[in-house]
Structure 1
Amino acid sequence: MSSINITVPDLPESVSEATVSKWHKKIGDTIKRDEILVDIETDKVIIEIPATHDGILTDIIVNSDSSVKAHQILGIFNSLKTSNPCKSFHIPDQINSLDSHKTNYINTEQVQSLSPSMRRLVHENDVQPQILKNNNCHTIVSKEKIKEHSVNSFISSSRSQDEKKPASLTTQDRSEKRIPMTLFRKRMAERLLQTKNTTAMLTTFNEINVQPILTLRKKYGLAFENKHSVRLGLMPFYIRAVIESLKHYPEINASIDDSEIVYHNYFDISIAVSTPRGVITPVLRNADILSISDMEKTVKELATKARNNKLNYHDLTGGTFTITNGGVFGSLLSTPLINPPQSAILGMHAIKDRPMAIDGQIVILPMMYLALSYDHRLIDGREAVGYLEKLKSLLEDPTRILLDI
């Protein structure tokens, strides 16, 4: 066998540290080449570190929730150079039936063959060393088994004591749990505070009648799916209308860099996606040249990668404008926060049937509120209101997008 270090790979540019998110293997586990050993988390992505060889994990140097830097050693595993690795360890049934008193079955020769830490664990947990030794692999497997036995014994003892308690004493405990905030959450909190403290943020609202888009989707949805092998959703209509409106109001697609205004002549649209880690914003690049079907496929792919922690750093950087849709969770109205260094973000919300006055008549229509949060240092109220009016006209009459009017 040869020892191989498990190290942190090169981190993305501008990322100085990461956090050990999760170990997928325990000390003593047999691992196969390319199996994922550990996940490390940056403020944007999760990086999976695979095994480079077959082997056995012998040491975990950095535990979960610890901060690490590039090339830092996380753990060690022994590479297997033969086809017969140490067999899996089995503890006989008698280990579960040990009495509470100290066992008298300790063999001095076997105890001396163990490491000092192993000898301490043997005595502390009343485990017979002769059932721990297994083809010279006891230092790899035994610690986990001993600890597992100790924990199981404690749980069994606790349960037996609880069963003896009167019913009046077994009420639910008032407990608390503290866990370290992940690096992603820390960074997100910093960015949100940065947005609040460094931008002159305002939000303006409008509402749209979604019926024309729903009618179009119902009429052509089946034909679209048969041809492109993907369902026709509402997001491509929103994205297309957003881009056409940005062309009329380039300030909203711009950003501030120190004392300069940067106008982007391209449209990289960030789409907010909710994941177990929090909200992240993968970027739909060159969205203005994508077809409706390409938009639908790409958005679906990015959302799937986001929820499975498969996004890379490139997928999350460089957006010029953000769309967030709280309506999928039932949100009726909100004031979204700008995603720096961008200057504006569009919030879309739940579609609700509401009575509306149309040509003097009360009509029930599927309505949705739009919210545009913007940096007043760059965007004036006139541009913000005009942008939403343009967006409203395109969404309520999608034909305008085709005719460019």
Structure 2
Amino acid sequence: MVEVKVPQVGESISEVQIGQWLKQEGDWVAAGDDLVDIETEKASVQVPAPEAGFLRNIRVPADEFAAVGDTIAEIEPAPQPAGGSTAPPSAPAATPERAAAPEPARGAEPAPTPAPHRAAESNGAEEPIVMPAAQRLLSEHGLRAEQVPASGPGGRLLKEDVVAFVGAGGAAAAPSAPAPAGGGLVAAASGASLVTAGSQRGEEVKPMSMIRRTIAARLVEAQQTAALLTTFNEVDMGPVMELRKKYKDVFVEKHGVKLGFMSFFAKAVVEALRRFPAVNAEIRGNHVVYRHYYDIGIAIGGGKGLVVPVVRNVEQMSFADIERAIADYGRAAAENRINPQDLEGGTFTISNGGVYGSLLSTPIVNPPQSGILGLHAIQDRPMAVNGQVVIRPMMYLALTYDHRIVDGREAVSFLRTIKETIEDPARLFLEV
């Protein structure tokens, strides 16, 4: 057997969380095929098969933790079966002898459950071997293993079987217990709240993902170590929207990427950071470090949560370069392919809660940075323009900054620079 071990994924990383197993136990895999997603404190990576053969003995199920170097599965070296079948050459058959294995003595310590386990028997018939991911789905939908047709090797019940069964309209069997009297209501004790007999009041406990734990720790660190303050303004998005509408087709034809709002804000942020360098600086001990480069973190919602990949040297990039970089990061985040080095560094961050419908928020600075710009939803609102009330597409802007290094005057002026640049995009090209 060839062991599949947790690889070294970073100098400071000693523990990972097992994500989704991409192959099932018993599948034949080629050397280099991705077997499982693992999550680190910074990103998700895939573990490839070290050798071609059948995947055996998955030791660590999804959502559990493992140390770097731990063996999480084994591969039985073998050539690919004829006809491309992924079934093992000699899958263990279900036999009466296996079904009649003696039960442990009453009070004895139960044996550890292997990754694939056999469901409880009923009416003397042997149940299918249930894979861990399938068992979780069965529990979520209130199903029993015998209700779902199994298609895996050796009669294994796979996650895909449960998904297909539920998608085809399969439902849990109706409970046979008689309904309590009293109009279908149950009272636990005198004065207790009444609960309908069919209500779901269960709880589910899941381990916090590695990425979520890191995000939580950094946000708490920011709140505890920095003097955070937020200032607000609003911007008329009409000029940028008109510019995008006028040139969107030509832009896509020439550059192969859509012209979005984020490139305008990234350019506006660079201009504002040039004028107010303290917002681009950081505190190191008793010193202030002023950076003369502009690496902008762009907050992106990914498959495992919010990530902030960094677009580096934005001051040297064109609108098309920025849009391509953001689009590439967006696809990588959706597929959990963000690399740890993509998240490192950054001198300032832009977070767009408007894509989720947020009207106003107070974003939290990503330490050791000193500022973050929050963008929000665009809404038509009545505005006074040249003595007339007109309807304009308006967006609220929020700048959260570290008051230890950035004064209120600088913060307000910084945000006003963003507003003036977006409301008159020609400034980006004329450098005024």
Could you say which TM-score interval applies, normalised by the shorter chain? Answer: 0.7 to 0.9
How far residue 117 of structure 1 moved from its aligned partner, in angstroms, is 11
Residue 6 of structure 2 corresponds to which residue in structure 1? 8
Map 1:187-266; keep pairs closer than 5 Å: 187-266=214-293
Distance (whole Å) between structure 1 residues aligned to residue 372 and residue 273 of structure 2? 12
Match status 1:30 vs 2:28: yes
Distance (whole Å) between structure 2 residues aligned to residue 117 and residue 385 of structure 1? 61
Match status 1:398 vs 2:425: yes
How far residue 302 of structure 1 moved from its aligned partner, in angstroms, is 0.7
Distance 1:399 1:373, change over 3 A: same
How far residue 52 of structure 1 moved from its aligned partner, in angstroms, is 2.2
Aligned with 1:350: secondary structure? Answer: strand
How far residue 171 of structure 1 moved from its aligned partner, in angstroms, is 2.2
Distance (whole Å) between structure 2 residues aligned to residue 123 and residue 373 of structure 1? 53
Residue 19 of structure 1 corresponds to which residue in structure 2? 17
Aligned residue pairs, count: 372
Q: Which amino acid aligns with 2:267?
A: R
Match status 1:307 vs 2:334: yes
Say which structure is richer in helix: 1
Aligned with 2:377: secondary structure? Answer: coil
Q: Deviations over 1:178-206 (max 9, x none)?
A: 11111211121111111111000000011
Q: Which amino acid aligns with 1:211?
A: G
Q: Deviations over 1:196-237 (max 9, x none)?
A: 110000000111111111111111111111211222111111
Residue 66 of structure 2 corresponds to which residue in structure 1? 68
Backbone CA RMSD of aligned residues: 3.4
Residue 301 of structure 2 corresponds to which residue in structure 1? 274
Distance 1:27 1:222, change over 3 A: closer
Match status 1:321 vs 2:314: no
Aligned with 1:355: secondary structure? Answer: strand
5+ residue gaps in structure 1?
A: 96-102, 133-141
- Larger Rg belongs to: 1
Specify which of 152, 155, 160 is matched with residue 145 of structure 2. 152
Residue 340 of structure 1 corresponds to which residue in structure 2? 367
Instruction: Say whether the 8 Å CA contact 1:162–1:170 is kept in structure 2.
Output: no
How far residue 48 of structure 1 moved from its aligned partner, in angstroms, is 0.4
Residue 48 of structure 2 corresponds to which residue in structure 1? 50
How far residue 122 of structure 1 moved from its aligned partner, in angstroms, is 9.5
TM-score (norm: length of structure 1): 0.82
TM-score (norm: length of structure 2): 0.77
Distance (whole Å) between structure 2 residues aligned to residue 233 and residue 10 of structure 1? 38
How far residue 80 of structure 1 moved from its aligned partner, in angstroms, is 0.8
Map 1:362-373; keep pairs closer than 5 Å: 362-373=389-400
Aligned with 1:386: secondary structure? Answer: helix
Distance 1:258 1:397, change over 3 A: same
Distance 1:122 1:221, change over 3 A: closer
